[in-house]
Amino acid sequence: MIDTVPNDAIGRRIVCDGEYGTVLYVGSVPPTPGLWLGVEWDNPLRGKHDGTHEGTKYFTCSNPFGGSFVRAKKVNFGMDFLSALRKRYGLKSEETVELVIGKKTVELVGFDSIHEEQRQLNKLCDISLRDCAVSHAGSKDSIYHSCPNITTLNLSKNLLSSWKQVADITSQLENLEDLDLSENRVCLSSNPSSFSSAFLKLRVLSLNRMGITWSEVLTCSHMWPSLEELHLASNAIATLERPVDTLQSLKVLDITNNKLVDGNQLHAIAYLPRLKQIIVSNNKISLITFPDAQVGEISAMFSSLTSLSIDGNNISLSTINEMNKLKTLQSLNCHNNPFMDGGKNPDTVRQLIISKIANLKMLNKTEILPQERKGAELDYRKMFGNDWLKAGGSQNLELNNPNKEFCINHPTYKSLIETLTFRCPEKPDQKPVQKKLPDSMTVQKVKGLLYRLLKVPGSELKLSYESSKMEGREIELENDLKSLQFYSVENGDCVLVRW
């Protein structure tokens, strides 16, 4: 029985009756004779104690009931990479060929099959060995000579216990770009940088459900010089630290289903220069702020971020207001948050979000078409028009000074007031003037504004406008009591002034 236990058994990953664990003890457990393995199970419900038996401490478990003793013959320590590959893909050598060399006849077992197998192995580019009990690379360079063209490799839920074991495999796969190690329990190396040559082309790495912390990720990140996507779902990550000289090529970071509560922990990754997508769904975040920018300003944080997923958190509209500070944000997923599920009409909530984030192109995986944005912003201006006035807003530009609270709660409201160009076509010496006006402003009040600018009585003014959407057409603003909105005057249009 002793011969069945590897010399390096302690620390090795095993599977027994479908349950995964780590060997922490090898030896006797009196008074019962024979060899025992002390195992800490991934599933603590499988265990019975904390490594203590009849008052003697044999090993230590992180969970008080996560450990037990098992016989070696019941445990599977796994197999090498190629054995698992052949088993998974049904590659077997069965034919026997006789070859005469001189006066001797030599049997070549599976000669044709071996060549066929090699041909198939050479073709493999995208393989999955999930749950195949892979524990080590096997003989030196065997993977390199057998299947060197693998670019995508799924090694999730196997028996890998160290980064050295992983590197022994990946160092033989010179074209490897996508690696999934999820559901393994891989111990840290004392010198991760020494394995960087084993991951030179790696772009996508999945480390989901591995019990890894962010600090450990940063320690390991020196191994992955070209990494662009990192998936860390379900790892109980509660805090983040700023990467220093690592992860600078990262474009996608997935921290789904962790334990982040303080959304400002994200500030730690805010200056990764190429980060385009963050998935932080199913955490417990309630607020994310960008304090380096005031209302109406652009934050220096997340300068390349185009997509953010915050589904399943405790996000309020205060965080949505902050999102308008992000320069390049175009896609937002925010289902299953309090402001989405607070009993409000879903269409109204969608309109609010669209209006509050000026550059948004996709919301909850649905494209925001120009007409939808126009309608949302129009309704938004109507919905909060009275609040704007009460807060100090005014159609008189000289008196328009809404208070700080309104500006924080409605960061885009000011920008939704149209910028119009006023031009006097019959007075070539009069320079064009640009003004921001709410579309609720009546033609009569526009004439009052022009009176102060041009010193021409409103009764003598005749107004019309030109739109880029209707080239060559001039529309008269003939009713003084109607609003600019009534005439479909839009941002960027030119108002023609005659007297």
Task: Supply the range of the domain harboring residue 212.
Answer: 132-381
- Please, is 222 exposed, middle or buried when counting C-beta atoms within 10 Å of its C-beta (0-12, 13-18, 19+)? middle
Residues 65 and 210 in one domain: no
Looking up residue 451, the CATH number of its domain turns out to be 3.10.20.90
Distance separating alpha carbons of residues 22 and 16, to the nearest angstrom: 11
Model pLDDT, residue 107: 52
Q: Is residue 398 part of a domain?
A: no
Residues 309, 354, single domain; the answer is yes
Per-residue pLDDT of the chain (499 residues; tens, 9 = 90+): 344 799 999 999 999 999 999 999 999 999 999 999 999 999 989 999 999 999 999 999 999 999 999 999 999 999 999 999 999 988 764 444 444 445 555 454 554 566 676 678 888 999 999 999 999 999 999 999 999 999 999 999 999 999 999 999 999 999 999 999 999 999 988 888 899 999 999 999 999 999 999 999 999 999 999 999 999 999 989 999 999 999 999 999 999 999 999 999 999 999 999 999 999 999 999 999 999 999 889 999 999 999 999 999 999 889 999 999 999 999 999 999 998 766 678 899 999 999 999 999 999 999 999 889 988 988 898 888 888 888 888 766 667 788 989 988 898 887 787 778 999 999 988 999 888 787 778 999 999 989 988 888 988 999 999 987 777 789 999 999 998 888 888 878 899 999 9
- Domain boundary at 353, 381, 409, which? 381
Using CA atoms, how far residue 19 sits from 24, 166, 193, 234, 361, in Å, is 16, 21, 32, 19, 46
Q: Which residues of 426-451 are buried (b: 16+ CB within 10 A; e: fewer)?
A: eeeeeeebebebbbbbbbebbbebbe
For residue 411, tell me if it sits in a domain: no
Is residue 7 a part of any domain in this protein? yes
Quote the strand ranges of 74-145, DSSP E.
79-80, 96-101, 104-109, 126-128, 134-136
CA distance 80 to 137: 5
Last residue of a domain, one of 41, 58, 74: 74
Q: Which residues pair with 152 in a beta bridge?
A: 126, 178
Distance CA 433, CA 291 (A): 35
> Domain check: are 261 and 369 in the same one?
yes
Please tell me whether residues 435 and 377 are part of one structural domain: no
- Say how many domains are in the chain: 3
- Distance between CA 437 and CA 301 in Å, rounded? 31
| CA end-to-end span of the chain | 107
The two tokens of residue 11 are: 């620390």
Q: Is residue 118 part of a domain?
A: no
What is the Cα 272 distance to its own chain's centre? 13
CA distances from 34 to 25, 71, 166, 178 (A): 14, 8, 33, 44
CATH number for the domain spanning 32: value is 2.30.30.190
- Residues with Cβ < 8 Å from 214, sequence gap 6 or more? 232, 237, 239, 240, 241
Domain assignment present for residue 394? The answer is no
Q: In this structure, are 58 and 158 located in the same domain?
A: no
Nearest to 353 by CA among 318, 386, 326: 318
Do 39 and 67 contact (CB within 8 A), yes or no?
Answer: yes
Verify that 155 and 239 share a domain, yes or no. yes
Which tokens hold the place of 349?
Answer: 């909530």
Of the residues 363, 381, 399, the one at which a domain ends: 381
DSSP string, 262-283: -GGGGGGGTT-TT--EEE--SS
In a domain? residue 377: yes
pLDDT of residue 214: 97
CB 219 within 8 A of CB 194: no
Residues 354 and 430 in one domain: no
Q: At what angle do helices 111-123 and 81-89 cross, to 10 degrees?
A: 100
218 and 327, same domain (yes or no):
yes
Radius of gyration of the chain from its Cα atoms, rounded to whole angstroms: 34
Cα within 13 Å of Cα(428), Cβ side: 0
447 and 362 in a common domain: no
User: What b/e readout covers 128-162, taking b as 16+ CB neighbours within 10 angstroms?
Assistant: ebebbbbbbbbeeeebeebbbebbbbbbbbbbbbb
Query: Between the CA of residue 77 and those of 22, 101, 152, 161, 207, what are the distances in Å?
Result: 10, 41, 25, 11, 21
Strand 366-367's sheet: what is its strand order? Answer: 126-128, 152-154, 178-180, 204-206, 229-231, 252-254, 277-279, 307-309, 331-333, 362-363, 366-367
Looking at the fold, whether 158 and 50 belong to one and the same domain comes out as no
311 and 227 in a common domain: yes
**Sheet with strand 67-70: strands edge to edge:** 13-16, 19-29, 32-41, 67-70
Amino acid 161: pLDDT: 95
* Residue 405 domain flag: no
Regarding whether 423 and 291 lie in a shared domain, the answer is no
- Determine if residue 263 is left, alpha or beta; phi over 0 gives left, psi from -120 to 50 gives alpha, anything else beta: alpha
Q: Which tens digits make up the pLDDT trace of 374-422?
A: 889 888 988 888 888 888 887 666 677 889 899 888 988 877 877 789 9
Q: Is residue 159 part of a domain?
A: yes
